[in-house]
């Protein structure tokens, strides 16, 4: 048998049929649903007189559009409340498991999937959300889809999809102190650009990737979409199995043994061929920060903004437009730049390990007076763990506000908006114009770099304070 990649093994085993000259009919094992991209799909289903084909393989949660304080009260804003109510209604009608507000499983869709053990190696997983790539951390083929495709999956548990190409990104060696999975992600995108992964599914490999925790792997795979890739994945190993074992929807007993045997067969065969390969050295990566308006515009925190000298034509215009928006000049140093907000949260860095790292860093220190900081757990389970582990006390002591789970300022659909012109160091994934609120300026970074900035009030190299 020809040598196959991890990606090929999963994809090929889920093809129900190939449409001549067209896309594959791909079977979807798990479908995750949230309130923003689903109502039109449910409506479409209704108009066709169809039912959800496999409600038991579908799970829903409202996350994008929910407030992150006073969740026990009714949602204030009419449109948001209506959207969340629609999700409740649609799930009730079609028999879909809903993890609604205040449900013990509630949270950001990409945080709760793994946490509940729904995300498993070898599965195909989709959601009407581009960061579905997160679930690839477990060795699953997981990708974001549009609303028409949500309707397809609701109607048939299948999707029509052209098969992407394979890319492998190997990161050799060991990460240096203060460098995290988020920095790997921002580094890779700064190297291959925001369109470098387009048309591909990325497999991350190499020593630096192997040594990441599941949380770190999720952070990295989460950001795959920011390089333009359809998704990213990492071969399952002991770290993966250890994480899944015992979770709510994890296989149990003999089922576990069966699943484990299958999972162990998944990693890429030795001689398998990739369409595109990149290799990086972990030692070259330092804590990263972005200075522009796409995630590819990032640099080591001690470095300067590029001068743009080598650019011309629309590349130059785009670069200038971006720096104008940020209020920065070419060639300026990032260290010492004043900031106004810090946001820790999102499906990129809103998991318990992120909060632990942040809390350990700020413990015994004080938040800078000029900084407003929002710490938003990715889920109810993360929220509870943070309380039980005493992280919330540490945060409160250091002057930080701990909120309730949701997407929050990652996309600012609710009230958590960064005001116009203000600078936010954010652990989320997108620094697009207005992403965190109209006119908001976003600097993407790891929880450690965010913590350092929160303490000093300016862009700071976290390693300086780690050593202190």
439 binds another protein (CB under 8 A): yes
Whole-angstrom CA distances from 325 to 281, 287, 297, 339, 366 are 32, 23, 13, 15, 31
**Rounded CA gap, 408 and 417, in Å?**
8
Beta carbon nearer to another protein, 152 or 188: 152
**Rounded CA gap, 67 and 404, in Å?**
8
Report whether 188 contacts 294 (CB < 8 A). no
Total residues at the site for ligand SF4 (CB under 6 A)?
14
130 binds another protein (CB under 8 A): yes
Among 4, 131, 168, 365, binds ligand SF4 (CB under 6 A): 131
Beta carbon nearer to another protein, 155 or 466: 155
Q: Which of residues 143-162 bind another protein (CB under 8 A)?
A: 144-149, 151-152, 155-162
Partner from ligand SF4, another protein, none contacting 347, C-beta within 5 to 8 A by type:
ligand SF4
- From the list 240-248, 307-315, 351-359, 406-414, the region that binds ligand SF4 by CB under 6 A is 406-414
Closest C-alpha to 186, from 294, 305, 345, 310: 294
27 binds another protein (CB under 8 A): yes
108 binds ligand SF4 (CB under 6 A): yes
302 binds another protein (CB under 8 A): no
- From the list 41-49, 106-114, 157-165, 280-288, the region that binds ligand SF4 by CB under 6 A is 106-114
- From the list 249-257, 343-351, 355-363, 409-417, the region that binds another protein by CB under 8 A is 409-417
- From the list 166-174, 242-250, 317-325, 339-347, the region that binds another protein by CB under 8 A is 317-325
Containing 215, the helix (H) or strand (E) segment is helix 214-222
List alpha helices for 48-162, DSSP H.
78-94, 109-115, 147-156
Whole-angstrom CA distances from 17 to 2, 9, 14, 144, 391 are 21, 16, 9, 21, 50
Beta carbon nearer to ligand SF4, 80 or 456: 80
For another protein, what does the binding mask look like between residues 28 and 67, x meaning CB under 8 A?
--------xx-xx--xx---x-x--x----------xx--
**Rounded CA gap, 1 and 86, in Å?**
49
Burial class (CB within 10 angstroms; exposed 0-12, middle 13-18, buried 19+) of 424: buried
Minimum Å gap between C-beta 38 and ligand SF4 is 13
Q: Which of residues 161-200 bind another protein (CB under 8 A)?
A: 161-162, 164, 194-195, 198-199
Write the DSSP symbol of residue 169. Answer: E
Strands 341-344 and 298-300: unpaired
Q: Which of residues 43-82 bind ligand SF4 (CB under 6 A)?
A: 63-64
410 binds ligand SF4 (CB under 6 A): yes
**HEC readout, 300-347:** ECCCECCCCCCCCHHHHHHHHHHHHHHCCCCCCECCCCECCEEEECHH
Q: Which residues bind ligand SF4 (CB under 6 A)?
A: 63-64, 108-110, 129, 131, 346-347, 407, 410-411, 428-429
């Amino acid at each position: 048998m020809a040598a196959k990649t991890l990606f090929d093994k999963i994809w090929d085993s889920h093809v129900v049929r190939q449409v001549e000259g067209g896309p594959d009919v791909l079977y979807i094992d798990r479908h995750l649903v949230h309130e923003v991209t689903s109502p039109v799909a449910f409506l479409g289903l209704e108009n066709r007189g169809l039912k959800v084909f496999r409600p038991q393989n579908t799970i829903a949660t409202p996350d994008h559009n929910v407030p992150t304080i006073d969740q026990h009260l009714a949602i204030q804003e009419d449109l948001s409340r209506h959207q969340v109510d629609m999700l409740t209604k649609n799930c009730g009608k079609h028999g879909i498991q809903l993890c609604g507000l205040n449900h013990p499983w509630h949270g950001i869709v990409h945080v709760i999937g793994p946490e509940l053990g729904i995300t498993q190696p070898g599965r195909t997983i989709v959601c009407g959300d581009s960061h579905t790539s997160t679930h690839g951390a477990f060795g699953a083929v997981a990708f974001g889809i549009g609303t028409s495709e949500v309707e397809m999956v609701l109607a048939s548990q299948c999707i029509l999809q052209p098969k992407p190409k394979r890319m492998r990104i190997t990161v050799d060696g060991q990460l240096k102190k203060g460098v995290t999975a988020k920095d790997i992600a921002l580094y890779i995108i700064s190297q291959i650009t925001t369109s470098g992964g387009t048309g591909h599914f990325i497999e991350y490999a190499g020593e630096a990737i192997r040594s990441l925790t599941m949380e770190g792997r999720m952070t990295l795979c989460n950001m795959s979409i920011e390089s333009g890739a359809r998704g990213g994945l990492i071969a399952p190993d002991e770290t993966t199995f250890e994480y899944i074992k015992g979770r709510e929807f994890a296989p149990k007993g003999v089922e576990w043994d069966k699943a484990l045997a299958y999972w162990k067969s998944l990693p890429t065969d030795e001689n398998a061929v990739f369409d595109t390969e990149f290799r990086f050295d972990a030692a070259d990566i330092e804590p990263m920060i972005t200075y522009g308006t796409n995630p590819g515009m990032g640099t080591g925190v001690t470095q300067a903004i590029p001068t743009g000298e080598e650019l011309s034509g629309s590349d130059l215009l785009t670069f200038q437009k971006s720096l104008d928006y940020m209020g920065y000049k070419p060639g300026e140093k990032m260290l010492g730049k004043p900031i106004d907000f810090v946001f820790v949260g999102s499906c990129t860095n809103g998991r318990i390990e992120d909060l632990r790292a942040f809390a350990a860093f700020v413990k015994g220190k004080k938040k800078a007076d000029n900084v407003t900081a929002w710490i938003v757990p990715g889920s109810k389970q993360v929220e509870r763990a943070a309380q039980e582990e005493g992280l919330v006390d540490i945060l409160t002591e250091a002057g930080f506000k701990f909120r309730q789970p949701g997407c929050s300022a990652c996309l600012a659909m609710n009230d958590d908006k960064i005001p116009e012109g203000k600078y936010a160091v954010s652990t989320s994934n997108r620094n697009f114009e207005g992403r965190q609120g109209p006119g908001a300026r976003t600097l993407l970074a790891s929880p450690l770099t965010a913590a350092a900035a929160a303490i000093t009030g300016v862009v700071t190299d976290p390693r300086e304070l780690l050593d202190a």
